[in-house]
């Protein structure tokens, strides 16, 4: 670890600002113009709204507390379920952990402090406890975990003290906050079904933008190939192949394309993401028999998938590599992206952007826009341009 130093970090405010009194004039008039009993002073800034800071010992500028290698062990988060996180340490032990209160108090836009795939440092509990007992810790930041008979139960428990900086993340906007779906992965496998539910090209384009933003290699897997004619898929496959995106045509039911998919996963950390019902868990069961992940059929009423996977989990593959099975995503909106950045997520725009009449052209309404001219000449597909407009305007696509 690097040299430790003390820094001031900002914490979340633990109080709401009280409402300001707005009836002072009325009270003054009701008292016949006398101000003897009027309030003599008023806070301009409520004490509860003051910024909260704390000095912590850290290894860098991120404000993450430093830890001792003698007291803590390094591990990776396998899954997060409620307040509990399951962590596998480098030596193979599995801990059921809570998160230190200081980490949860740091100011952040993230919906959750810890996510699947995070590299963390945890402090084991004072003693080995059974899965049916509560956490025993002498630290004042320890939080009692609920007891249950879920698969999260382990024979050892601990406290997450530090989260290492992330790389390779898949994230989205959720209720005006950042939802980090998974961290520290190499590639994103975009799983789409050709039928039941139908293929959604605009959602694929959003995933490609999210992969580029999160520095992930994108791979497209088109599942349920046994239910449609492959000839009709050539325009779609050719479009993404020209963009440098590997496209795997596969079927979890018949096993078609599973060998190629297995080779794409070998030796890499991959996150499976897509709509509910496209067959993410079914493909994983086919790639590695014996996983026995729960699956459900598509609803016969609306032909939409039904949520089966309820939380992301990191799974180790027997032939090398890791995969993350994630819950179905029906909407995907990029987090912390400005409209002027969207053209960078469309590689086919790059040859035409310098030819636009205006250097700050948004490619939406301007005259002399080379990108719009390329769309009119069918050098850029109208569907991809429509996806760009949706991202530029900030609209959500299902």
Name the range with the highest mean pLDDT among 49-58, 195-204, 206-215.
206-215
- Categorize the per-residue pLDDT at 75 as very low, low, confident or very high, splitting at 50, 70 and 90: very high
Neighbours of 333 (CB within 10 A): 17
Residue 196 pLDDT: 81
Shared domain check, 186 and 114 = no
- The answer as to whether 67 is a domain residue is no
pLDDT band at 206 (very low <50, low <70, confident <90, very high): very high
Domain containing residue 348: 341-392
C-alpha torsion angle, residues 247, 250, 255, 261 (rounded to 10) = 20
Residue 9 falls within a domain, yes or no? Answer: no
Specify whether the CB–CB gap between 145 and 79 falls below 8 A.
Answer: no
**130 and 272 co-located in one domain:** no
Residue 66 has pLDDT above 70, yes or no: yes
Question: Cis link prior to 197 (omega < 30° from 0)?
Answer: yes
Mean pLDDT of 264-292: 90
Q: How confident is the model at residue 49 (pLDDT cuts 50, 70, 90)?
A: low
The better pLDDT of the pair 23, 91 is held by 91
pLDDT band per the 50, 70, 90 thresholds, residue 136:
very low
Averaged confidence pLDDT in the chain:
80
pTM above 0.95, yes or no: no
Say if strands 73-81 and 84-89 run parallel, antiparallel, or are unpaired.
antiparallel
C-alpha separations of 10 from 50, 129, 203, 345 in Å: 11, 35, 37, 33
pLDDT attached to residue 353: 96
CA distances from 345 to 100, 114, 350 (A): 37, 28, 10
Average of per-residue pLDDT across 131-142? 39
Looking at the structure, tell me whether residues 293 and 230 fall in a common domain. Answer: yes
286 shares a domain with 150: no
Residues 285 and 380 placed together within one structural domain of the fold: no
Q: Which of 3-12, 24-33, 387-396 has the highest mean pLDDT?
A: 387-396
CA–CA dist 373, 391 (Å, integer): 20
* Domain finish residue from 143, 163, 183: 163
* pLDDT score of 27: 64
Say how many domains are in the chain.
3
Tell me which of 163, 189, 213 is where a domain ends.
163
- 175 and 318 in a common domain: yes
Taking alpha carbons only, the member of 309, 233, 239, 237 closest to residue 271 is 309
Query: If DSSP codes are grouped into helix, strand and coil, which group holds residue 271?
Result: strand
Residue 268 is part of a domain; what is its CATH number? 3.40.50.300
Higher per-residue confidence, 27 vs 85 = 85
**Looking up tokens 């980090």, which residue turns up?**
180
Q: Specify the residue for token string 């989990």.
A: 313
């Amino acid at each position: 670890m690097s040299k430790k130093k003390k820094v001031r970090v900002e914490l979340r405010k633990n109080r709401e600002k009280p409402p300001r009194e707005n009836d002072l004039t009325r009270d003054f008039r009701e008292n016949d113009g006398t101000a003897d009993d009027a309030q003599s002073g008023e806070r301009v800034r409520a004490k509860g709204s003051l910024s909260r800071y704390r000095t912590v010992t850290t290894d860098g500028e991120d404000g993450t507390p430093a830890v001792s290698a003698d007291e803590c062990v390094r591990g990776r988060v396998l899954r997060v379920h409620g307040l509990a996180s399951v962590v596998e340490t480098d030596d193979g032990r599995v801990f059921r952990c809570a998160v230190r209160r200081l980490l949860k108090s740091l100011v952040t836009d993230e919906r959750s402090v810890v996510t699947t795939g995070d590299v963390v440092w945890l402090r084991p509990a004072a003693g080995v406890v059974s899965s049916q007992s509560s956490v025993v810790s002498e630290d004042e930041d320890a939080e009692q975990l609920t007891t249950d008979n879920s698969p999260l139960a382990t024979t050892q428990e601990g406290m997450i003290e530090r989260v290492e900086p992330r790389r390779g993340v898949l994230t989205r906007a959720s209720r005006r906050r950042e939802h980090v779906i998974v961290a520290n992965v190499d590639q994103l496998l975009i799983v789409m079904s050709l039928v039941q539910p139908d293929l959604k090209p605009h959602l694929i384009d959003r995933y490609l933008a999210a992969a580029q933003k999160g520095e992930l290699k994108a791979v497209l897997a088109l599942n349920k190939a046994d239910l449609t004619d492959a000839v009709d898929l050539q325009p779609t496959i050719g479009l993404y192949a020209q963009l440098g995106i590997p496209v795997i045509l596969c079927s979890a039911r018949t096993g078609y394309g599973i060998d190629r998919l297995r080779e794409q996963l070998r030796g890499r950390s991959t996150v499976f993401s897509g709509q509910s019902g496209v067959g993410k868990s079914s493909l994983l069961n086919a790639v590695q028999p014996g996983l026995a992940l729960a699956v459900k059929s598509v609803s016969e009423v609306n032909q939409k998938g039904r949520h089966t996977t309820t939380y992301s989990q990191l799974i180790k593959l027997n032939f090398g590599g890791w995969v993350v099975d994630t819950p179905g995503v029906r909407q995907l909106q990029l987090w912390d992206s400005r409209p002027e950045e969207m053209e960078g997520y469309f590689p086919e725009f790059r040859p035409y952007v310098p030819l636009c009449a205006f250097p700050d052209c948004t490619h939406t309404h301007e005259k002399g826009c080379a990108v719009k001219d390329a769309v009119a000449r069918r050098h850029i597909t109208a569907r991809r341009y429509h996806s760009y407009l949706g991202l530029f305007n900030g609209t959500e696509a299902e």
